[in-house]
Amino acid sequence: SYNLADGMERSGWTDPNYLSCIIGMAIISSIILLSTQHKARLIERIFWISTAVLSFATQLLLASRGGILAVGTALIFLLLRSKTKARYKIFVLLACVIIIAVLYSMGYFSLIEYRIANDGDGGSGRTDIWADKLSYYANSSNIFQVLFGLGPVSALNIGDKYAAFHNDFVAILCGYGV
């Protein structure tokens, strides 16, 4: 849940990027099936469309810009590179546009718009998080910590107020070392 008036963003999920990407897989899978299984039964098509629409609505409520960007990029790539007939590509594209328009009119884009409009430099503080964690790791005087990392739990405690890394490469380096 969220309340834009109070300045509160998401609650109930601390790092929605991963969940958003998992949900994005359902969207991509459904679109692939819709665009390639031309002789599928109507009930299957309805299921795939419902999966894609509900998953996309959930992704918008999570307001993970990375997940939405990943799905959008994958969909564009699929539409451009698939070997399906042009009429099926056009149908999928029009369906996506209609679904986006309906979800927009229902207010599903409000949190993602809010996050984009109110995001200052530094990716919501991510660059500060990375700098804190990498600085601590780089300044470690223990060669074993540099080579083998701090351990996944100890690495989360680097820095004053940040727990999540927001970058898997930094997380692996700090947690498991070189």
Q: What pLDDT does 1 receive?
A: 46
Q: What pLDDT does 114 receive?
A: 79
* pLDDT of 74 higher than 50: yes
* pLDDT of 95 higher than 90: no
For residue 40, give every residue at least 6 positions away whose Cβ sits within 8 Å of its Cβ, in sequence order, or none.
Answer: 33, 48
Q: Considering only 22-31, 36-45, 165-174, which range has the smallest mean pLDDT?
A: 165-174
Q: Looking up tokens 């594209």, which residue turns up?
A: 93
Q: What pLDDT does 47 receive?
A: 94
pTM surpassing 0.95? no
Q: Rounded mean pLDDT of 4-19?
A: 56
SS3 150: coil
Inter-CA distances, 99 with 9, 52, 113, Å = 24, 10, 17
DSSP state of 8: B
Q: Considering only 5-9, 61-65, 86-90, which range has the smallest mean pLDDT?
A: 5-9
Q: What does the pLDDT look like over 124-175, one tens digit per residue?
A: 667 777 777 888 777 776 888 778 887 877 777 776 555 677 777 878 888 8
C-beta separation of 59 from 13 below 8 A: no
C-beta separation of 114 from 4 below 8 A: yes
Backbone angles phi, psi at 21, to 5 degrees: -70, -35
* pLDDT of 12 higher than 50: no
Mean pLDDT of the chain: 78
C-beta separation of 4 from 111 below 8 A: yes
* pLDDT of 72 higher than 80: yes
Q: Rounded mean pLDDT of 22-43?
A: 88
Q: What does the pLDDT look like over 111-120, one tens digit per residue?
A: 878 777 766 6
Q: Rounded mean pLDDT of 3-27?
A: 66
Q: What pLDDT does 100 receive?
A: 87
- DSSP for 48-116, please give it: HHHHHHHHHHHHHHHT-HHHHHHHHHHHHHHHHH--S-HHHHHHHHHHHHHHHHHHHHTTTTHHHHHHH
Cα 85 to chain centroid, rounded: 30
Q: Considering only 9-18, 85-94, 151-160, which range has the smallest mean pLDDT?
A: 9-18
C-beta separation of 25 from 64 below 8 A: no
